[in-house]
Amino acid sequence: MGQEIERKFLVNTDRLGELTGGEVMRQGYIDTRSLATVRARIAGERGWLTLKGGNRDGVRSEFEYEIPIEDARQIIDELCCGPVIAKTRYRREYQGYTWEIDVFEEDNAGLIVAEVELGDVTENPPLPDWVTEEVTSDPRYYNSQLARRPFQQWPPSER
């Protein structure tokens, strides 16, 4: 069974420095009305279909398959509900770990999060000085939730 183990953090942009070499992504979500999340994604010139189970403290089942980019476009345009997530993903190495830094655009502009994938739930990676509050267990920061309730709609007290 596929499994994703990750931790997610907010980012202090004053400490982050310049980001280069990002990959533009568009992704939409299919409403499953259950614990599963079904996502279609376009990353660069490639398409993906991903199914994820419920999140339990940063751990969930995950199945991801590359699909033709035209199929991904059609799925996003015809089957996904709510706004499409638009972001640029940057990767940065830090002490043996690859951090993915997502700079959101459009309805989620102003939000920047960093994720690190782990091989085991007991792993405790060193944190770069540019990460701040951990939001791994806060469902508001799940991309699927940002498609339903974008960051720009949050009141200032929730940001």
Query: 18 - beta bridge partners?
Result: none
Cβ-based neighbours of 83, under 8 Å, separated by 6 or more:
106, 107, 147, 150
Residue 142 known to be catalytic: no
Choosing from 29, 90, 94, 142, the catalytic residue is: 29
Map the chain to HEC letters. Answer: CCEEEEEEEEECHHHHCCCCCCEEEEEEEECCCCCCEEEEEEECCEEEEEEECCCECCEEEEEEEEECHHHHHHHHHHHCEEEEEEEEEEEEEECCEEEEEEEECHHHCCCEEEEEECCCCCCCCCCCCCEEEECCCCHHHCHHHHHHCCHHHCCHHHC
Indicate which residues carry an active-site annotation.
29
